[in-house]
Structure 1
């Protein structure tokens, strides 16, 4: 079995040090701009230089996330950031924006690029396309099952998979819920996590509420594959990624150490000690309940936690009674002063507090043990039998902090000592990677009167490496004769030699210092044929009948409609783990894997997230691409700026598509709330959402329609259809309407209205 890379999150310098010292092979972190965790600590330029040097000195790689969508007016700033990262020794970039990828490949061909999970790569065709684009690695969608990981590994590209941490209910890169509802875009690193809020599932027509075990219908458990490490190693994945740039250093350190020990044990053919104990430690740090996730086909109650969207810790006791402002609790696990606690209440308004005061027999004490009855100050009303949870274990935190203070592994070094009487002692040091350094003493060697410097004494002094990332492998004593030198001189030479060695190890790409950004040449793009003026995507036969005779291009992803109406342009689905093939002249492409599968004339949808002219140019440089729809994350003014920048660069107008009407997808998910509440959530293609109309209802009473597509992936729509104003319509772009919930009559009225507007604008 091949040893996978263990990749750790670093939202701060303290978290980075914890990751390195607990055994990470690489860390990923964000700069202060263009990262998908805008609210993490992140790193300014000085901190980033420090982080890279520290990691490289400890033989750990650094990947910087530049994994947000880049707007046209941000391209220059993004390019300047890439310049800085390239010349400051960053090992690789994790990138979402197609335009930025295209530019980097031309400006810095040797800069390693990883396709972010925000690129929505979920099939082997997508892996193949980014490999052809020149990327070194693809970060697969969290929804990818392990069998498909194995298939994707056959493409010969490095694969990165999430193995631990928070899960999103929506496919990454496809979520607009936070953006449309709150103005904080997940594709811009600002997700407000509306999926962690309470919702009800209701019948849209009657308003009847579907009974549910809890309110948090969109909140998944946390991924934990520690017990599946061996199978994941066999999957062919190159890198095991831990999620958590928003987590505290102790969390990062403990999770990294757990996976480091498990990976090493599996590769050594050993069984790690106390797997159950390790799982309890991990639960104490943070958990919403654990799941092995989509990797191992978990769904329904094995995937989602509708009861609570936050850390639940572990249960350590049960409330017996309450009196005089204290609760009496019988403990089932140890409790220490300073622990974080929570008492669960039936109304969901749990009581959280720190165990500053613990009473036994009415006396203050520092701890309680299993089986003991203790008292805790709590004034809010609590019922007997309520659960006491431990959400922070103060003793565990101290233990992790101590572990994180010293590196889990050290680099072996070899010392060579040379010199003769009357000359300084020369100390050469070399590490296992071939880096070398030298130091010399200020004082000269003298003939020994009593105890000469033998190999044993030198080894004793040179082996004092506890405060360094090094460990002693050997000492080669080449001193000529019986010589003496004060111990302080040997220690100072050791310190200087290792400092010089660390400085050399810190720079892994010295050749970059002499290289400048290459002149970026435009892509080769041939002028395309005009697109249909009005494109209408439909979902039902009633809509097809109502629109069949109108002068518009109908599009659908519904197989029955494609077969019944030859004039309908087929559309792929947004999620296609094993895509169908269409032998048609035109095809609407919803995801990047389509680009590798066909020579058909493609219209790329908003799923490609085109927010700048570089991304537009990259797609249009593909022979099969006939047109590109703008991202739903940008407004008409931004769209116009992209078209103008493209025309200035390439000399002709780009064939673009403007989304002008329709319910937009807030989320596309593998988890279906309808099936989960009306069935058991474990079987797909139940068709329940096609027999009855359902919606998710939030606390404000707003309804978000939900339905399943042809492959049974759940779509959550915005509460009312989006529509551009007449003054925002671009006559130079094709217009796209998406009809989902509209009946035949409404569909015809809407389409005819846009036909009249377009005819009027073009006639002016």
Structure 2
């Protein structure tokens, strides 16, 4: 049976989740958690959490699921070491560096690929499996048929079944970072998608980027039958009542019992729930905002929900053996259903003055297990006549034997993983031989404006690759892979056609493309979607077959300059930064594709272009301003490749911009530009 995995943003929430009956929990430490604004757990709290969980047979996963900077790597390694020594059952991670840390320092530790790694295809699963992940958290956008396909590939799958939906595909949202320096990939998302925004020119006071929460309680049995190993509840920022209600609802739904959907909606929803992604029914019905009525219903439901975690959830049954002999200390032995056995001894019994102790009196005290995780299964008593043991003494012995059982169960369910310090940056450093320009185009008109001799490579969309070979020499072409797909095989067939016309280079936007490049024998270039922010992650990209890698544009220029480079690195030097990638187009949902305005407008009046990849089933929301660094190239001299990304530029503008980057921006910069995050960075 699949586990019910509960979010725990604080020790208080952990208590509620355990009492509600979860099978596993995930929690964050004081650093490197994708929910930095939660209370989270200090190291001592994590040790206590492992104890409380393991005595109940509940697993504990720690999230180290932010991208890591080089200057943080020592602290990150310490966090992994603490996980190993505390007996944590696994680490959920996004950053490729964690793969290397675990592989070198504690290879027995389980690692789970976070949903922020954007794994959503068969080849993505194969990559994570080869890298040593024991479980993959799938993208929330997947329908049931794909979930079933991916769950049959020999690696555990984890699926979100309840909780908030981000507008963007997880791991590919940079809106909060670029607009306000609060990086979602660093655990500090400012939730820009919950702010006023209108799509399709519908006026102000719209919330056209806000999705309803998902809830798959009615579909849990289908999901389990699809082969999913873990049913994940989102909500490390939520209150204990929310987590308890979600766990209780999932438990009842899995057992085929009725759950209280009305109260589940009341505790937190945004005008109801959606199962649109699971059923692949996208559109306006998936969008919603939390209203005053929702909040009022939630407040009213709280007293009812408190009852769900008022008492301990009974995790096992104890059977006792009690020996009360005249010449021996009182002895109580307890056994659980899993074979754990513990004993405790007290003082010698007294001679009875009036009423002697008997079996009924012993059972009366031993059965008082209300504040424990155990049910009373029975007691075998061996009692000499004429002896007395007070109820208080029996109660104290019962408490002690239960505590001993707690410890025994905890030890049985815990495995301290050996940890050895190791140098994770022990690799040869690449020494650059000059800086080149690489371009990415959206259409053939832009491509025609590119002089092949001025650029190292021209990246073209997959759909245009075959025709692009008629415009410029194939040795100068690279296929820019789509960032998301619901049909990997068709995508692979189209890529094979591009290779047949002579294109040898593949620009990867997802980990799955590393496997595709190997299959087709193409030269692999790792893109910004890999979220590479440290030297070790760059080396992992090289191990995956990359000949060069574009670093994350969430890095400051000064941080890029300090990277130890195992391969040539590229930087995003020009273009409209892709702020969100979503499979649920806000404009289509608002006014339909026929009325597309090709932009959305935020509460300040800024227009953000929307780039449609309809064939692949996703759109990208681009920055309102163009990143321009032609006059600041000295600050990017550490980069071997300058990536110029053209979206809505005319052919004339394409030629002009390339010239600007050739001559260092001597002709003056354009209006309304941004320097991105190269100087201000992210938190």
Structure 1 length-normalised TM: 0.80
Deviation, structure 1 residue 529? 11
Q: 1:474 aligns with which of 364, 378, 385?
A: 378
Does 2:547 align with 1:626? yes
Deviation, structure 1 residue 312? 5.0
Q: Is the 8 A contact 1:19 1:252 kept in 2?
A: yes
Structure 2 CA distance, aligned partners of 1:93 and 1:240? 17
Deviation, structure 1 residue 757? 4.1
Q: 1:236 aligns with which of 227, 237, 248?
A: 227
Per the alignment, residue 675 of structure 1 pairs with 588
Per the alignment, residue 283 of structure 2 pairs with 300
Does 2:447 align with 1:544? yes
Structure 2 CA distance, aligned partners of 1:415 and 1:463? 10
Describe the shift of the 1:479–1:528 C-alpha distance in structure 2 as closer, same or farther (beyond 3 A): farther
Deviation, structure 1 residue 526? 10
Q: Is the 8 A contact 1:312 1:391 kept in 2?
A: no
Deviation, structure 1 residue 135? 1.1
Per the alignment, residue 201 of structure 1 pairs with 199
Q: 1:284 aligns with which of 262, 266, 269?
A: 266
Cα displacement string for residues 143-189 of structure 1 (whole angstroms, at most 9, x for unaligned residues): 01111100101111111111111101100100000000011111111
Q: 1:20 aligns with which of 18, 21, 39?
A: 18
Cα displacement string for residues 680-737 of structure 1 (whole angstroms, at most 9, x for unaligned residues): xxxxxx6x59xx7621111211110002125241110001111222221225511111
Q: Is the 8 A contact 2:424 2:536 kept in 1?
A: no
Of 521-530 and 719-728, more deviation after overlay is shown by 521-530
Q: 1:601 aligns with which of 504, 523, 535?
A: 523
Q: 2:150 aligns with which of 149, 152, 156?
A: 152
Q: 1:58 aligns with which of 30, 35, 56?
A: 56
Q: Is the 8 A contact 1:661 1:722 kept in 2?
A: yes
Q: Is the 8 A contact 1:212 1:677 kept in 2?
A: no
Identify unmatched segments of 5+ residues in structure 2: 667-683
Q: How does 1:387-398 map to 2 (within 5 A)?
A: 390-393=297-300, 396-398=301-303
Deviation, structure 1 residue 747? 0.3
Instruction: Give the SS at the match of 1:559.
Output: helix
Per the alignment, residue 708 of structure 1 pairs with 612
Instruction: Give the SS at the match of 1:700.
Output: coil
Deviation, structure 1 residue 490? 2.2
Q: Is the 8 A contact 1:285 1:313 kept in 2?
A: no
Describe the shift of the 1:290–1:449 C-alpha distance in structure 2 as closer, same or farther (beyond 3 A): same
Does 2:355 align with 1:442? no
Q: Is the 8 A contact 1:541 1:561 kept in 2?
A: no
Describe the shift of the 1:404–1:509 C-alpha distance in structure 2 as closer, same or farther (beyond 3 A): closer
Describe the shift of the 1:472–1:95 C-alpha distance in structure 2 as closer, same or farther (beyond 3 A): same
Deviation, structure 1 residue 753? 2.1
Describe the shift of the 1:578–1:518 C-alpha distance in structure 2 as closer, same or farther (beyond 3 A): farther
Does 2:481 align with 1:572? yes
Q: 1:535 aligns with which of 438, 441, 444?
A: 438
Q: Is the 8 A contact 1:589 1:603 kept in 2?
A: yes
Q: Which has the higher helix share?
A: 2
- CA RMSD, Structure 1 to Structure 2 (Å): 2.6
Q: Is the 8 A contact 2:7 2:25 kept in 1?
A: yes
Per the alignment, residue 206 of structure 1 pairs with none
Cα displacement string for residues 550-606 of structure 1 (whole angstroms, at most 9, x for unaligned residues): 431110124124433234211211112332223442111100011222322200001
Q: How does 1:309-388 map to 2 (within 5 A)?
A: 309-311=289-291, 313=293, 341=296
Of 185-194 and 413-422, more deviation after overlay is shown by 413-422
Cα displacement string for residues 608-639 of structure 1 (whole angstroms, at most 9, x for unaligned residues): 001011101111122x3211110111022111
Structure 1 CA distance, aligned partners of 2:36 and 2:281? 30
Does 2:530 align with 1:611? no
Q: How many residue pairs were aligned?
A: 643
Describe the shift of the 1:573–1:609 C-alpha distance in structure 2 as closer, same or farther (beyond 3 A): same
Cα displacement string for residues 511-563 of structure 1 (whole angstroms, at most 9, x for unaligned residues): 628x4425456677797998982210000111011115443111012412443
